[in-house]
Amino acid sequence: MRILLLAAHPRSSQSIAQRALTEAARAVKGVTARDLYAVYPDFNINADAEQALLLEHDIIVLQHPFYWYSAPAIIKEWLDIVLESGWAYGDGGTKLHGKYLVNALTTGGRESFYHPEGRNRFTVEELLAPFNQSAHLCGMAYLKPFVVYAARKQTREDLTAEAEAYRDWLSGLAEGRIDPTENLAEGYVLPEGFKRRHAL
């Protein structure tokens, strides 16, 4: 499967964790990696160009640090501009049907914080509900997120191991060794009529 990886970090020169993930992803065959803040420093997102890229890929990975329990602003702008009515959803909006969406994120908070009794009260998957439902509206399968918790508290060795796990996960998806429909987000029900894509 062809993977479109949209990476978003507003201060990439200060990034440690996202940078490690992006470097790992760039080494995977079948991954088209784009840095949204570098491509669109003025937020002037080109809907036609982004839609053309979406059509060429099967799995869309939104890779970002967790910011205010969500993604950095350019990801929201990308969703607002690119996923147009009549194209991605609504009457005749079928272009993304059968594709996959997944968030790959790094958090500042520890995994234990993301729990009903923890300080963040909700799990990461619960907080990602708008992505989950947006995927559903667009006829896509929404996958279990790839999460690196407490990313800035990791030792260099642990972060390297996380980046390797990320590379293996992406290459497993790209090469068809990992079946994305076996890795849906918790409780996710595929949209009606969802057609599985087979590994290339």
Ligand X SMILES: Cc1cc2nc3c(=O)[nH]c(=O)nc-3n(C[C@H](O)[C@H](O)[C@H](O)COP(=O)(O)O)c2cc1C
Minimum CB distance to ligand X smaller for 9 or for 136: 9
Minimum CB distance to ligand X smaller for 30 or for 109: 109
Residues 6+ apart with CB under 8 A from 33: 5, 7, 22, 25, 26
- Structure tokens belonging to residue 138: 């667009």
Residues 6+ apart with CB under 8 A from 18: 7, 9, 12, 63, 64, 65, 106
Q: What is the DSSP string of 170-196?
A: HHHHHHTSS-GGGSBPTT--PPTT--P
Minimum CB distance to ligand X smaller for 67 or for 188: 67
- Min. distance of Cβ 180 from ligand X in angstroms? 24
- Min. distance of Cβ 189 from ligand X in angstroms? 27
Minimum CB distance to ligand X smaller for 24 or for 54: 24
- Min. distance of Cβ 160 from ligand X in angstroms? 14
Residues of the shown chain interacting with ligand X in the complex, contacts defined by CB under 6 A: 9, 15-19, 65-69, 106-109, 151-152
- Min. distance of Cβ 73 from ligand X in angstroms? 10
